[in-house]
Chains A and B, each alone.
Chain A
Amino acid sequence: MQKEKNIAAVIPPLPVPSFTGGGGGAVKQEFTITVYTENQIGLLVRIAIIFSRRKINIDSLNTSPSEIDSVHRFTIVINETEEVVRKLCRQIEKQVEVLKTYYNNNDEIVWQELALYKVPTDVIAEQVQVERLLSQHGAKAVVIRKDYTVFEVAGHREETDNLIKVLEPYGLIEFVRSARIAIIKNSEGFHKKLKEFEYREPGEAITENEFLNQNEEVFSM
């Protein structure tokens, strides 16, 4: 077997540090899993099947850049026991292109979801109380057109849900909500952590398929 020079193994993969104080035991609760990864096509599937293989529903999933160029950040919300979440995190961290995985309960994070609401403009113009309700909920107009207006609200699930109920009687046309994004209160960010990964080279640029639009120019058999 080829013997690797074991440079990468200077740092132990610690047990996924939980900032959770009390043991969750066998009680299911909402956990937010934060995964720092390389940017690779196919990694989303690799992570997603860790959940689907065990028939666990993902409540919310967001991928975004992180504070570090080339490092991506997945934010995944599931409702499970801490024991299960810990095992899931170890499986995620085992993936070649995953740098680090954390999980936290709701007390340990600051989180937001963004919601958009499309409402008929005339209703808002004519009914003063709608305007008041919207400002009470911290809604901000994103687009105002003659026929409709789009508001946005950032907040927790209950807050954005509440506004749906409020707007429904006034002809809410469309509603959409984003996945959760979360900041770990206790986290010092990933810069320091990344150094522990023996930063020797930046992440690789992804290679996408450049040939899809050339099907008539390329010979094939």
Chain B
Amino acid sequence: METLEKIKEIKKEQSAQKFPLGGFRGLSGGEAVLEAFLAEDVDTIFGYPGGAIMPIYDALYDYNDRIKHILVRHEQGAIHAAQGYARVSGRTGVVFATSGPGATNLVTGLADAMIDSTPVVCITGQVFAHLLGTDAFQEIDVINITTPVTKWNYQVTDASEIPAVLAKAFYIAGSGRPGPVLIDITKNAQLQQFDYEGYKKCDHIRSYRPKPIVRKEYIEQAAELINNAERPFVIFGQGVILGNGEKEFIQFIEKAGIPSAWTIMGMSAIPTDHPLGVGMLGMHGNYGPNVLTNECDVLIAVGMRFDDRVTGRLDKYAKQAKIIHLDIDPSEIDKNVKSTVPVWGDCKETLPMLTALVQQKKHEAWHEKFKVYQQKEDEKCIIPEMNPITDELTMGEVINVLNELTKGEAVIVTDVGQHQMVACRYAKYNNSKSNITSGGLGTMGFALPTAIGAKFGAPNKTIIAIAGDGGIQMTIQELGTIMQFNVDVKILILNNQFLGMVRQWQQLFHGKRYSFVDITSPDFVQVAKGYYIDGQRVSEREKLKDALQTMLNHKGSYFLEVMVGKENNVFPMVPQGRGVSEIILSKEEL
């Protein structure tokens, strides 16, 4: 608060010149925004200035010693970076953007954060309040544009609203099921001097219940089902990570001895080599977890939302099983899959209650079944992927070598497409919050800017952005951000010279009619060099390990392009419109 007093003193002097008539009465709206950030322990802002947010940036000039501002190259980059920051740290990411195009450029990131429940607070500048609705320069109705893609949004037209509104914004973004919040502040409110009465954190909104209360009778019913189950199966999602419930989760599955599979978003909540971890669910998940979903007798879903990429055809999904669904968001219960026992609540609270009531078990015969399927998958998919008979590299072997070198300690940020599926299938993780990917929205261009944010959220970790030749070109301008701020991000491009996932579908389901998936790329390494980022390209197997080691050892960011087979496919696969147990291991089975 001492520094605030100092600022007030200085401002008073300045304002005597700036505001000869009114004089200084406290803080400007712009300063109030930054005071709120300090109170919320914000240390990094990802942003891009512009006309309608200039008063906030003017205020930022005086706060620059306490809050870092990372100037990105596009507002989409800013919000993805904030997502990366939030996903690795569990804290709320913060974004500045100006009105009009600045705000509309945030929309993809907001949608991504919304569907993947990422806490982000975006501040957008807006034209003067008296110009609203006049089609003023760079005016856009950002509140209505972003309503479907925000957990909450609000337009401020008076500076005195700012402290309370920002307190609400941080509370809503970070509590319950997290999500993005956007606050639009008109320029007059940013400039306006008002009587600042300090910042009070918000911990209650009467119409908002972040967590449903846990109902004991459901816990008891769930425990009874689990105790009587012969083939129980746990499937878990990001809820375990968002609720900081990793420890509680592991205690639960270890006591009950239940095989557990993760969704793409739940990945890394438990170490990938945990003996009870049986792999990934979903369209390109592992064989056993998919098939055995339709053989278990009790399915325990923890912090996951039965996305269609996980369930395949719903009328062929776990019809034989009793379903226990643990989720913090009541609207997820019974949305896609009808539950036998709904357990509402934060899994950090519900899991220990459940653990206390379940019996210690091993379920050895049931575990054996997963191993049988694992062997089949090894034979048909994994061994050929790791030991290809051709000279062409496969994506899987690149990830495999990477695992050897990182030993599961790196944070891997993936883009969207084949490389994403392969990375998530084969990457090893020891620590939670290590797998950052765009799961729900499937945003190509996600990896590079998100990795930048992740580095600021976890500065001591190795951050590896893995992208395809398509996705990287969607946000490649963020190499500029890496250059300017010396961000240590390892960029690994798996280049198959195609939009690979679409090509795979065209091959399998559209009679190999390759319609506009043949994408030409620049000389990526030269592009990186243009940004003063070192790098190289490899296509030979014998050089792969050295190249990856060079990348990891390199001081600062590094750009490694690996040429991989052009027409490799990702298998296993649950073809769209089929049930999870109809998963195929090769295209011959289609």
CB-based contact B212/A9 at 8 Å: yes
Is the Cβ of A13 less than 8 Å from the Cβ of B91?
Answer: no
A12 interfacial contact with B, CB 8 Å:
yes
Whether the pair B158, A207 counts as a contact (CB closer than 8 A) is yes
Q: Residue-by-residue, is A77-115 near B (CB-CB < 8 Å gives 1, otherwise 0)?
A: 000000000110011011011110000000000000000
Q: Shortest beta-carbon distance, B502 to chain A, in Å? A: 26
Would you call A218 and B178 a contact (CB within 8 A)?
no
Q: Does B188 contact A (CB under 8 A)?
A: yes
> Which residues of chain A are near B157, meaning CB under 8 Å?
207, 209-211
Which residues on A sit within 8 Å (CB–CB) of B151? 96
Q: Count the A residues whose beta carbon is within 8 Å of the partner chain — how many? A: 48
A13 touches B170 (CB 8 A): no
Q: Are B170 and A12 in contact (CB under 8 A)?
A: no
Contacts of B209 in A (CB 8 A): 8-9, 11, 13, 197
Residues of A near B187 (CB, < 8 A) are 220
**Interface bits A122-157 vs B (CB < 8 Å: 1, else 0):** 000000000000000000000000000000000000
Q: CB distance B213 to A1 under 8 Å?
A: no
Give chain A residues whose Cβ lies under 8 Å from the Cβ of B90: 1
- Residue B554 at the A interface, CB < 8 A? no
Check if A13 sits within 8 Å of B203, measured CB to CB: no
Does B143 count as interface, using CB distance less than 8 angstroms? yes
B-side binding surface: helix, strand, loop or mixed?
Answer: loop
Take A99-B206, A207-B161 as given contacts and tell me if A2 and B172 are in contact as well, using a CB distance cutoff of 8 Å: no
A97 and B133 alpha carbons, distance in the complex (Å) = 25
Give bound CA distance, A5 to B130, whole Å.
39
- The residues of B that contact A93 with a CB separation of less than 8 Å are 330-331
CB-CB under 8 A for A8 and B130, given A13-B330, A42-B153: no
Chain A residue numbers with a CB within 8 Å of B158 are: 207, 210
Which listed residue (B129, B152, B176, B334) contacts A209, Cβ 8 A? B129
Give the segment of A45-53, A55-63, A159-167, A183-191 that binds chain B.
Answer: A45-53
Say yes or no for A200: interface residue by CB 8 A criterion: yes
Q: With an 8 A cutoff between CB atoms, is A27 at the interface?
A: no
Is B148 a contact of A2 with CB atoms below 8 Å? no
Q: Which one, B92, B130, B144, B147, contacts A215 given CB within 8 A?
A: B130
Provide the bound-state CA to CA distance between A1 and B238, in Å: 14
Task: Kindly list chain A residues whose C-beta atoms are within 8 Å of the C-beta of B471.
Answer: none
Contact partners of B532 in chain A: CB under 8 A: none
The answer to whether A10 touches B128, judged by C-beta atoms less than 8 angstroms apart, is no
Is A2 in contact with B130, judged by CB distance below 8 angstroms? no
A202 to chain B minimum Cβ distance, whole angstroms, is 9
Give A96 to B24 CA distance when docked, in angstroms: 36
Contact B203 A96 (CB under 8 A): no
Q: Does A97 contact B330, Cβ atoms closer than 8 Å? A: no
Q: How far is the CB of B342 from chain A (nearest CB, A)?
A: 8
A98 with B207: in contact, given A2-B171, A12-B212 (CB under 8 Å)? yes
Q: Which residues of B contact A86 (CB under 8 A)?
A: 334
Cα distance A170–B331 when bound, in Å?
A: 52
- Whether the pair B211, A6 counts as a contact (CB closer than 8 A) is yes
List chain B residues, Cβ under 8 A from A199. 206
Is B277 interfacial (CB 8 A cutoff)? no
**Known pairs A45-B147, A49-B148; A94 contacts B207 (CB<8 A):** no
Nearest neighbor of A213 in chain B, beta-carbon distance? B130
Q: Say if the beta carbon of B371 comes within 8 Å of chain A.
A: no
> When the two chains form their complex, are residues B244 and A1 in contact, meaning their CB atoms are under 8 A apart?
yes
> Across the interface, which residues of B come within 8 angstroms of A13, CB to CB?
209, 212, 330, 344
Q: Which of B51, B178, B331, B344 contacts A1 (CB 8 A)?
A: B178
In the complex, which residues 155-205 of chain B have their Cβ closer than 8 Å to any Cβ of chain A? 155, 157-158, 161, 170-172, 174-176, 178, 187-188, 203-205
How far, in whole Å, are A198 and B207 apart by their CA atoms in the complex?
9
Q: Which one of A5, A96, A220 lies within 8 Å of B205 (CB-CB)?
A: A96
If A2-B174, A4-B171, A201-B206 touch, does A49 touch B147 (CB 8 Å cutoff)?
Answer: yes
| Per-residue A-contact encoding for B115-132, CB less than 8 Å = 1, 0 else | 000010000000111111
Interface string of A6-20 (1 = CB under 8 A from B): 111111110100000
Nearest Cβ in chain B — how far from A220, in angstroms? 5
B147, A46: Cβ atoms under 8 Å? yes
Our pick among B130, B152, B178, B335 for the contact of A211 (Cβ within 8 Å) is: B130
Cβ contacts A to B, 23 pairs, < 8 Å: A1-B90, A5-B203, A5-B204, A8-B204, A8-B206, A9-B213, A10-B213, A12-B215, A42-B153, A42-B155, A87-B331, A94-B330, A97-B208, A98-B207, A200-B204, A209-B130, A210-B157, A210-B158, A211-B130, A211-B188, A213-B130, A220-B127, A220-B128
Given contacts A8-B209, A200-B206, A214-B130, list 18 more A-B pairs with CB under 8 A.
Answer: A1-B174, A4-B210, A5-B204, A6-B211, A7-B204, A9-B210, A37-B207, A38-B207, A53-B148, A86-B334, A90-B335, A93-B331, A97-B208, A198-B204, A200-B204, A203-B206, A215-B134, A221-B51
